[in-house]
Structure 1
Amino acid sequence: MTISSFFKLVEIQTKAASIIPFLIGTFYAIYRYDSFILKNFLLMLVSLLCIDMATTAINNYQDYKKANVKYGYGYESHNAIVRYNLGERSVRATIFMLLAIAAAFGFLLYLNTNIIVLLIGGMSFIIGIAYSYGPVPISRTPFGEVFSGGVMGFFIPILAIYIHVLDRGIITLGISGGILNLGVNIAELLYIILLSLPSVIGIGDIMLANNICDIEDDIQNGRYTLPIYIGKEKALKVFKASYHFAYLTLLILIVLKAIPYFCILLLATYFLVSKHIKLFYDHQSKKDTFVLAVKNFIIINGALAIALGLGAVISVLI
């Protein structure tokens, strides 16, 4: 397997969907809590990238194994296993290697933190595998958008924050006198949930746009995704409305002063995102317009990451 075929198998260009939420959480921890632990940052980064790449590789492998129709709809070009004539044994070895590295670094992160990290990380790991593998992978059901957006958009930022603020009491878990005690700082957790919603929505909409474009292909290959259940028109309405909700959460965060005041400038990105929504509404194509959902995610959440990064730098200097 060459480097180029490996990158295609793991769809390296899509890793922004995990790195950007990771950076959002990291910069937020620095900005709001003035806390950063380099070792934890690096351990989570390696584990995160490997599990993301493994999940994508599993998804491509499962598509290859379960496809009823292996031609047409661009299948020959967008499935790396077919395009590069990759051997199944080589693909499986790559997947197991990535999973092993992800698990090893995730366990090292747990040893350097606490049980909360193990629980959230372990849950994310299991859902990530179940998303692409099993008798009925989540990606082939109407719940793909919810799980992809929820795990990558919410679990990544909260873990990226928590690994730096273990002693701040945001989430605590302990046993006293045989009683399990769970403590949650509700206000801070609500801020983190609001912060993660633009990522949750952006990632979910990437999945939704992909499934809208693939309706015919998915029907042929037995993937019963959300657009197939609710129809293309309703799926497009969900796609459009969700972006408006993402901007509403940004506005709420600014009003609550949970993020820097200059994040108000992020609202200007709405005009470009709105243009992309209209273009996708008019024509849904994997080749031509699917990328607009990816661009929207990067525009909204990339801008948020940059703004939080700037806020973090200012807070450190001041």
Structure 2
Amino acid sequence: MMNKINLKIFLEFVEIRTKIASFFPMMVGFLWTGYYFKEFNWLNSIIFFLAATCFDMTVTAINNTLDYHKALDNNYKEEQNVIGKYKLNYRTMVIIVFILLAISLILSLYLVWLTDPMLLLIGALLYFIGIIYTFGPLPISRTPYGEIFSSLTMGFGITFLAVFMTRYKVLLSSEWTWTNLVLNIGWFDILKIFWFSLPQIFLTANIMLANNTRDLDTDIQNERRTLVYYIGRPNSIRLYQLLSFLPWIVWLTYIITGIFPWWTIVTLAVGYVHYQSVMRYTERIPQPIAFKEAIQSFILFLSMYVIVLFVLLLV
């Protein structure tokens, strides 16, 4: 007997707890816009927040729907996947996917009208990557390239667009006539945004890496050949440790170059807490609880990032 979907099941279907992977990069982008670039567009930023959140939920919903449809392991299909576990109507879940996608598209097209036509090209690229990440004959999430694509789109792409909502005329704008198209590309500012995005790029990759390291056995049964499948768990753990260390190196460059004032060096004390989390992850993997350490490490560093930017914005 099929069950009806409720809010709790819906939030599990879209894995709302994982939306921090898009929330924090957005907040970082918004706060850098105010702190470093000294301006902010509230309307564009709020609409972007809603559009990006809806699309993030869409990608997760597609992933869960296809995992259920393609699952070869019956135990996973009926006991672990949210659709099978709650005995949900598969067709209803597909409809929900299309509703979320439609909302995201409508909001995104409105943003194109508010900003610049170039956003249509950027958005189309990110939508394309997001969809083929989980959909198609060979989704990116089932290949060794999942960590790369997810970290660049979530870690850099979202931060860039968060800044773009305010500074689109400087970052990437266009002038159209009947015979010419003139592009204005603020390449140096784009490089700066990439620099500001490096911590969340590394830590987003770590979330995906930790997820695939935990699920290696299940992924093999369901023919998901992720990066962990090729390099093995021991090397995946070492890569996780490296990606956990690199954000602190980047953080130091903000202080050394004067982007952050000298007093922000006290935040390095958080590094010890972060180190302890990484060590707990190393000890507990592949236990399911280890994945929580990856989430907590992500939240710990980026919460500090957001708080520091917010304080600097106020002072």
**Unmatched tracts of structure 2, length 5 or more:** none
Cα pair 2:214 2:288 within 8 Å, conserved: no
Q: Is 1:51 the counterpart of 2:55 in the alignment? A: yes
- Report Cα offsets for 1:107-163 as digits up to 9, x if no partner: 101110012322222211111111111111110000000111110100000100111
* Residue-pair matches, total: 311
**Unmatched tracts of structure 1, length 5 or more:** none
1-side partners of 2:81 and 2:294: how far apart? 20
Q: Which residue of 2 aligns with 1:133?
A: 135
- Report Cα offsets for 1:86-113 as digits up to 9, x if no partner: 1111100100000000000001011100
Task: Return the offset for 1:240.
Answer: 0.6
Task: Return the offset for 1:252.
Answer: 1.0
Distance 1:154 1:61, change over 3 A: same
Question: Equivalent of 2:43, from 35, 39, 46?
Answer: 39
Q: Which residue of 2 aligns with 1:310?
A: 311
Cα pair 2:116 2:174 within 8 Å, conserved: no
2-side partners of 1:179 and 1:230: how far apart? 49
Question: Equivalent of 2:117, from 111, 115, 118?
Answer: 115
Task: Return the offset for 1:286.
Answer: 4.8
Q: Is 1:228 the counterpart of 2:215 in the alignment? A: no
Q: Secondary structure at the match of 1:276?
A: helix
Tell me which amino acid in the other structure corresponds to 1:138. Answer: I
Matches within 5 A, 1:42-191: 42-71=46-75, 78-167=80-169, 169-174=170-175, 180-191=181-192
Structure 1 vs Structure 2: percent identity of aligned residues?
32
Q: Which residue of 2 aligns with 1:192?
A: 193
Distance 1:144 1:159, change over 3 A: same
Q: Secondary structure at the match of 1:163?
A: helix
Which has the higher mean CA deviation after the structures are superposed, 281-290 or 257-266? 257-266
Task: Return the offset for 1:41.
Answer: 1.1
Cα pair 1:76 1:82 within 8 Å, conserved: yes
Task: Return the offset for 1:242.
Answer: 1.3
Cα pair 1:266 1:304 within 8 Å, conserved: no
Cα pair 2:28 2:306 within 8 Å, conserved: yes
Q: Which residue of 1 aligns with 2:258?
A: 257
Distance 1:79 1:262, change over 3 A: farther
Task: Return the offset for 1:269.
Answer: 1.8
Which has the higher mean CA deviation after the structures are superposed, 283-292 or 172-181? 172-181
1-side partners of 2:303 and 2:182: how far apart? 37
Cα pair 2:44 2:165 within 8 Å, conserved: yes
Q: Which residue of 2 aligns with 1:201?
A: 202
Q: Which residue of 2 aligns with 1:275?
A: 276
- Report Cα offsets for 1:219-249 as digits up to 9, x if no partner: 1100000011111111111111112211111
Q: Is 1:245 the counterpart of 2:249 in the alignment? A: no
- Report Cα offsets for 1:234-271 as digits up to 9, x if no partner: 11111111122111111112222334544433322211
Q: Secondary structure at the match of 2:167?
A: coil
Comparing both chains, which one has the higher relative contact order based on Cα–Cα distances under 8 Å and sequence gaps of 6 or more?
Answer: 1
2-side partners of 1:224 and 1:262: how far apart? 46
Cα pair 1:26 1:160 within 8 Å, conserved: yes
2-side partners of 1:109 and 1:185: how far apart? 20
Cα pair 1:27 1:312 within 8 Å, conserved: yes
Matches within 5 A, 1:8-23: 8-23=12-27
Task: Return the offset for 1:186.
Answer: 3.8
Q: Is 1:211 the counterpart of 2:251 in the alignment? A: no
Task: Return the offset for 1:70.
Answer: 2.4
1-side partners of 2:81 and 2:9: how far apart? 10
1-side partners of 2:204 and 2:47: how far apart? 23
Q: Taking structure 1 as the reference length, what is the TM-score of the superposition?
A: 0.92
